A = this chain, B = another copy of it.
Amino acid sequence: MTDIPDTHPRAASLRLRDALVQSVRDGITSEAGLIAHGRGEAFYYLLGERTHDFARTAIRAAAAQVLRAKHPVFSVNGNVAGLAAHQIVELVNENPRLWAEVNLFHFSLERVKRIVAKLQQFGVQRVLGSGLGETQILPGLDHARRLMDARGIAIADVVLVPLEDGDRCQALVASGRKVITIDLNPLSRTAQSAHITIVDELTHALPLLREELNHLRNTSDRELDDILSRFNNKQCLQAAMDAIRKG
């Protein structure tokens, strides 16, 4: 990996890139995940590489949605594990009903096991892997991508599923679950079909989500429902598209 000086104007972006390349070498992230990361980089660049107000609004709604859930699950793929393992630890461990479930687009049982082991080693207290334990099927998807752990996504009412493929996001929505995503392309099928779309870079959005969860933790259900009823995902997506157009 390259030594990147702090003064480099793109140091943060280059460090993420290096982390993800290392993660491919470690068998955590797939090669195709690197291409997806590059797509995200381009949209982030067009967004001025900062967290916009529309993202903060969506993060607030996401926190309210997670706090109102009975069984919230954080669906972790190879890119999310490669970029944000430390942040998953904090989110899961501070929110006692929240589980992590490793679910891969480019499935291999070995890779699921490797990522579950990595998250456990990082200290994540509740982590499952789709296909490892008792398994149920998410309708509308083929092959391994439809696997859900019977203690995880299978019983989840709210799924946080960042950097997700459009098919799976749509299948989760169609199954009646509330779906929160983090996606830098406001035009993607994932961004368009999720209930709450945070258009921001993953490692910037997750600490803000953590803060917002801590901030809202003792808020009444009624106030949380208020936040959710005021939230308009279409408006957020439109604001993100406007920001790209002007950027």
Q: Which A1-40 residues sit within 8 Å CB-CB of chain B? A: 17, 20-21, 24-25, 31-32, 34-40
Question: Does A109 interact with chain B (Cβ within 8 Å)?
Answer: no
Question: Does A41 interact with chain B (Cβ within 8 Å)?
Answer: yes
Question: Does A245 interact with chain B (Cβ within 8 Å)?
Answer: yes
Question: Does A103 interact with chain B (Cβ within 8 Å)?
Answer: no
A25–B24 alpha-carbon span in the complex (Å): 12
Question: Does A231 interact with chain B (Cβ within 8 Å)?
Answer: no
Say how far A46's CB is from chain B's closest CB, in angstroms: 8
Which of A17, A35, A40, A41 gathers the greatest number of chain B CB atoms within 10 Å? Answer: A35
Interchain CB contact under 8 A, B42 and A43: yes
Q: A38-B37, A38-B42, A43-B42 are in contact. Are A21 and B31 (CB under 8 A)?
A: yes
Among residues of B, the one whose C-beta sits closest to the C-beta of A17 is B35
Contacting residues, chain B, for A43 (C-beta < 8 A): 42
Question: Does A185 interact with chain B (Cβ within 8 Å)?
Answer: yes
Q: Which A38-96 residues sit within 8 Å CB-CB of chain B? A: 38-43, 45
- Provide 26 A-B residue pairs closer than 8 Å at the C-beta atoms, listed in order of the A residue: A17-B32, A17-B35, A20-B35, A21-B31, A21-B32, A21-B35, A25-B31, A31-B31, A31-B34, A34-B34, A34-B35, A34-B38, A35-B35, A36-B38, A37-B38, A38-B38, A38-B39, A38-B41, A38-B42, A39-B41, A39-B42, A39-B45, A40-B42, A42-B42, A42-B185, A245-B245
Contacting residues, chain B, for A37 (C-beta < 8 A): 35, 38
Which of A24, A31, A45 gathers the greatest number of chain B CB atoms within 10 Å? Answer: A31
Interchain CB contact under 8 A, A41 and B35: yes
Interchain CB contact under 8 A, B31 and A24: yes
Give 9 A-B pairs besides A34-B35, A38-B42, A40-B42 with Cβ atoms closer than 8 angstroms: A21-B32, A21-B35, A31-B34, A34-B38, A35-B41, A36-B38, A38-B38, A38-B40, A245-B245
